[in-house]
Each structure stands twice: as C-alpha cells, then as structure tokens.
C-alpha cells in the first residue's frame, strides 16, 4: 500500500553541503532535482509546517542555482538592461540592496523558469530553480555574454530561515538583520561568516535566505539550529507552506506552456515593460505577453478550496458541474494545508469560468468533489514590508 | 484470534469468518501524518488485491488493497473525523474495515507476526 517517495535515495544523487547534517538529524532522504534531499525529519510534515508558521524553520535549498551576472562595462545598468532581454520585469529600476521576483520567458510567452534577482551594487545576483539551473545558465550565456560575465556560484550553500521567530534568531548572529525589510538583499556578516542575505522566502512567512560558502554552511546551520525556536524542515512542508501561500512551483503550476498572465503573475510585471512603458517589450514572448496583459488570457491560474476533507492533488481534472463529461481545466498543485486544516489546491480554468467563488468539480477516484475558487494566498502572508 | 500481515503492510485480525483490516504501525510511520482516509462502502464485495481504501498524508495518497476477498460488513467511521488515529493507534483504534471472509484458503499466503517483523527488518 505504501506510495514511497518517487525516487529513493541513491548514490548517484548529488549532495548539498548540509547532507551530513540532514542524515544526522534523521532526515528521510529522497531524490529531488538530482539531489539527495530531506523530504521530512522525525518531526513530520504536519508539525514541521505548523512550527514554521509559529516559530522558525530552517530549510536547505542549496540545490538551487546561484548565479552572479557581472557587467563587463562595470556599470550595473548594463547588466540590468541585458537581463531585461530575458525577463518581463523592470530590472533597471531595481535599487541596490533590493530583490525582485522574475521569470525567464520563451519565444511563445511560456515560462522557462522563475527566479529571484537582486541588485548587489556592482553586479546582479540571481537564484534559479534546481531543475532548471543548467538550462538557465546556458540561456544566460547564449543571450547575455556580450554584456555580462556569468558566474555560477557552485561553492555556496543556500539556507532559508522562515517564520515569525526568524528575525530574532538571525539577529543574534548578525547586527545588520533587523533593519532589513521584505525583499532587501545584500552581503551581510552572519556569525562571523561573509554571507549574502535576502529577506524573502517561499513560505508566505517573514524570513531570510542566506547564501553561505559551502565550507561554512554546516557551522552556520548548526548555529541557527542551536536556537530552540528553530527546527529543520524538509521539502514536504516546504511544498505545503508555499501552496498555502499561493506561490507557484515551477514544473507544476508554471512551465513552458503557461504564460505569466495565465499564471496570474501580472503583479510581477512593472509598467515600464508593458505597452506604453519606457522599455516596453524587448523580452522573449513579448508579443503574446503584452497582448495578454491588455486583453487577458484564455485561461487563468486560480486557488481552489475543497468543500470536503479529501485532498485534491496535482493532475485531477476539473469540471464545470457534477455530470459534464468534458474537463474544463486541471489541478496543478494540491494537497492538505496544515494551517488551514483543510485541503487546498491551485489549477487552471478558462478565464470566463475563473471568477472568485465559482463552484467547480474535481474528479478524484471516479468521484466529483466540489471545489470553490478562492483568493490566494490561502494563508495571509506576514512579510515585513 | 489470529493476526496476519501482508507484504504491503496491512494487518488482518481473524475472528471466526470475519477479518478486521488495518495498516501496520510500520506503514503509518512511513506514510507520515495521515490527514484523510477513504473507506469502502458497507456491502461492497471486495476481490483480493483490488484497491479498497485510500489513506492520504499531507504529501501523498496511497491505496490500501484488499488483502483477501469478501464482503465489507463494517467500516470505522471514526477515521473520517479523526484520521490521525492511524498515526497514534494503527494496530488498534484505527482499524479500517471488516470483511466476511469469502475464501479462507486466501489466508494461507499471509504472514504471521514473526514473518512480518522479519519482512520490515
């Protein structure tokens, strides 16, 4: 009966600098994006999730790609303008010490990956998804090499510290933490180690992501975990936390077949890149995306809440009513939201049938389960703006 | 009363011609926090090895297969309101369903406690 995790732990998998720590702390290791990662610890997904929302959770996200874009001209504007060829976001206006959510778009307007971009004064620092990082690096080299030196930072770990106690915990190791606000980012000394810290994350909670040299990662993680407010959190709770926060998971909720407008990510596209803006277009897929920004897309990503207790999971077809034979959409992420103590999901529906509070049905094991379109985030975020 | 086990981590408590079926403590520890259990309808005629129930953790859904053939005579309604019983008392209060055993010879292929302990060791 056991649906064991899709890939069991294998020696061919890569290890992050915190691998030994995960094993020592009883992490249940599974393959994820080519890495041997903890899906949970002895605490369990449910308690790990809830602990993050009430205290602080430490996540190893070292499998993600960290890349520096250094302008050949030594002018940061040149790197920013170059990156704008690949994303529909305004990077030029991103101030030093600030971070922004962005997406790499393709020719047809679909999404090649989503990423975080930070302005570190004389260069840009980007964080991309683990499963996409090889392609992303090639994409950057192919398109930005005239303007930028592209430096993947292979010798750094990435540690996320998330939750309402994250600030207090991190402030014990660094003087420059408490003054940061949401989406501030830059070099900071943490516990005597030179790190890059951003006040952001993937849980909907206030928190930080800390890029640290690999050889210092275990020490830093150990120092953070020594605080009784902090528990190590696995990928299982990371997924349920981001789902409750309404955040997209690349390869599931967004991919090359979804545009930013279909994915309800218009909020991330600034006016300067839209029609009539100072630098309108000029990125892959601009024609499709700019037109959809004005006219809307044929389908839309929505949040879904179930009426019953049965989780509705990725891949479940969505129907307009309990009897219709043709599906109108599909669930792209779904599961149980521990903070809501109820099932939650997100998926795509025709825009005409995507109004808030509309009832739709998901087919699960031959039964039609009623769902209601609900605003996201499902759980209010607590970012320190 | 005899308790038997399947290789798929279900237990069967045999009392006369009725088998009470649940999942083992090992199974619940592997599943993690159970948040939903779907049970078969009373009166359903189960065939050995068909999907009879579903147990869902935060992360995933897993089928529970009928370890033997027989008609479902009773289901544990308590699991609907308190699925976490599967984690706290898998071998006891968290029984899933009872079946009237159709063919006692099917019990022959199941493991006893000692064999099951060896199976999960």
CB contact under 8 A, B35 and A4: no
Q: Give residues with Cβ within 8 angstroms of B116, minimum separation 6.
A: B5, B24
Within an 8 Å CB–CB cutoff, is residue B38 touching chain A?
yes
Q: Could you report the per-residue pLDDT of A194-215, keeping only the tens digit for each?
A: 999 999 999 999 999 999 999 9
Q: Could you report the per-residue pLDDT of A89-115, keeping only the tens digit for each?
A: 999 999 999 999 999 999 999 999 999
Confirm if A147 and A296 have CB atoms less than 8 A apart.
no
Under CATH, what is the fold of the domain A19-62+155-244? Gyrase A; domain 2 (3.30.1360)
Q: CA nearest B33: which of B74, B73, B82, B78?
A: B82
- Distance, in Å, from the CA atom of A28 to the CA atom of B12, rounded to the nearest integer, reads 28
State yes or no: pLDDT of A6 exceeds 70: no
ipTM of this predicted complex?
A: 0.90
Domain A298-385 in this protein, CATH class: mainly beta
pLDDT at B1: 80
Closest CB to B57 among A1, A45, A47: A45
CB contact under 8 A, A311 and B35: yes
Q: Residue A239: its chain B contacts at CB < 8 A?
A: 59
Both structure tokens of B42: 């009373």
Within an 8 Å CB–CB cutoff, is residue A311 touching chain B?
yes
What average pLDDT does range B49-65 have in this prediction? 94
CA A377 to chain centre: 14
Q: Tell me the pTM.
A: 0.95
Q: Could you report the per-residue pLDDT of A333-379, keeping only the tens digit for each?
A: 999 999 999 999 999 999 999 999 999 999 999 999 999 999 999 99
**Three-state DSSP class for B97?**
strand
pLDDT at A7: 47
pLDDT at B59: 85
State yes or no: pLDDT of A147 exceeds 80: yes
Give me the numbers of helices (H) and strands (E) for chain A, helices first please.
8, 19
The confidence band for A176, taking pLDDT boundaries of 50, 70 and 90, is confident
The confidence band for B90, taking pLDDT boundaries of 50, 70 and 90, is very high
Q: How far is B8 from chain A (nearest CA, A)?
A: 5
Q: How far is A318 from chain B (nearest CA, A)?
A: 18
pLDDT at A169: 98
Confirm if A69 and A127 have CB atoms less than 8 A apart.
no
State yes or no: pLDDT of A4 exceeds 80: no
What average pLDDT does range A247-259 have in this prediction? 98
Domain with CATH 2.40.30.110 in chain A: 298-385
Confirm if A209 and A226 have CB atoms less than 8 A apart.
no
What average pLDDT does range A327-333 have in this prediction? 98
For A78-213, strand residue ranges (E) read 99-105, 111-119, 124-128, 148-152, 156-162, 185-190, 193-198, 207-213
Q: CA nearest A58: which of A48, A50, A67, A66?
A: A48
Within an 8 Å CB–CB cutoff, is residue A47 touching chain B?
yes
Under CATH, what is the fold of the domain B2-104? OB fold (Dihydrolipoamide Acetyltransferase, E2P) (2.40.50)
State yes or no: pLDDT of A179 exceeds 70: yes
Q: How far is B57 from chain A (nearest CA, A)?
A: 8
pLDDT at B42: 98
CA A21 to chain centre: 23
Q: Is the peptide bond before A377 cis (omega within 30 degrees of 0)?
A: yes
Domain locations in chain B?
2-104
Within an 8 Å CB–CB cutoff, is residue A49 touching chain B?
yes
State yes or no: pLDDT of A3 exceeds 80: no
What average pLDDT does range B12-16 have in this prediction? 96
Q: Residue A4: its chain B contacts at CB < 8 A?
A: 30
Mean pLDDT of chain A: 96
Within an 8 Å CB–CB cutoff, is residue A252 touching chain B?
no
User: How would you class B89 by CB atoms within 10 Å of its CB: exposed for 0-12, middle for 13-18, buried for 19 or more?
Assistant: middle
Identify the closest residue of chain A to B32 by CA–CA distance: A44
């Amino acid at each position: 009966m056991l649906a064991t995790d899709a890939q069991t732990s294998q020696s061919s998998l890569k290890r992050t600098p915190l691998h030994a720590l995960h094993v020592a702390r009883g992490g249940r290791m599974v393959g994820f994006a080519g890495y041997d990662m903890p899906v949970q610890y002895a605490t369990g997904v449910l308690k790990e999730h809830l602990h993050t929302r009430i205290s602080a959770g430490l996540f190893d996200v070292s499998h993600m790609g960290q890349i520096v874009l250094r302008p050949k001209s030594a002018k940061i504007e040149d790197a920013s303008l170059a990156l704008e060829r690949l994303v529909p976001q305004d990077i030029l206006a991103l101030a030093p010490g600030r971070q922004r959510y962005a997406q790499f778009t393709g020719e047809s307007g679909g999404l090649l990956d989503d990423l975080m971009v930070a302005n570190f004064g004389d260069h840009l620092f980007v964080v991309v998804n683990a499963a996409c990082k090889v392609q992303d690096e090639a994409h950057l080299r192919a398109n930005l090499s005239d303007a930028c030196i592209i430096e993947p930072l292979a010798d750094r770990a990435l540690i996320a510290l998330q939750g309402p106690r994250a600030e207090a915990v991190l402030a014990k190791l660094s003087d420059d933490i408490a003054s940061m606000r949401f989406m501030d980012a830059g070099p900071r000394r943490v516990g005597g180690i030179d790190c890059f810290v951003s006040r952001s994350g993937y849980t909907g909670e206030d928190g930080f992501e800390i890029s640290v040299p690999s050889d210092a990662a275990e020490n830093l993680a150990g120092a953070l975990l020594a605080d009784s407010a902090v528990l190590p959190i696995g990928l299982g709770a990371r997924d349920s936390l981001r789902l409750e926060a309404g955040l997209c998971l690349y390869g599931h909720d967004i991919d090359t077949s979804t545009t930013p407008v279909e994915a309800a990510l218009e909020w991330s596209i600034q006016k300067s890149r839209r029609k009539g803006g100072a630098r309108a277009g000029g990125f892959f897929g601009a024609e499709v995306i700019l037109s959809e920004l004005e006219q809307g897309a044929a389908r839309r990503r929505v949040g879904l809440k179930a009426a019953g207790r049965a989780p509705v999971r990725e891949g479940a077809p969505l129907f307009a009513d309990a009897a219709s034979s043709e599906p109108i959409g599909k669930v792209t992420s779904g599961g149980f939201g521990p903070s809501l103590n109820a099932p939650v999901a997100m998926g795509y529906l025709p825009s005409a049938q995507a109004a808030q509070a509309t009832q739709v049905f998901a087919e699960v094991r031959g039964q039609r389960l009623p769902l209601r379109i609900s605003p996201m985030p499902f759980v209010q975020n607590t970012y320190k703006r | 009363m005899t308790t038997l086990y399947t290789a798929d981590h279900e237990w069967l408590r045999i009392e006369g011609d009725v088998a009470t079926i649940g999942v083992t403590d090992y199974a619940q520890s592997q599943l993690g926090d159970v948040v939903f259990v779907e049970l078969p309808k009373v009166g359903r005629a189960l065939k050995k090895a068909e999907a009879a129930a579903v147990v869902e953790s935060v992360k995933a859904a897993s089928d529970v297969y009928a370890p033997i053939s027989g008609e479902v005579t009773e289901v544990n309604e308590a699991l609907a309101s308190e699925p976490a019983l599967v984690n706290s008392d898998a071998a006891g209060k968290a029984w899933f369903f009872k079946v009237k055993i159709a063919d006692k010879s099917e019990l022959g292929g199941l493991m006893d406690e000692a064999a099951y302990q060896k199976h999960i060791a």
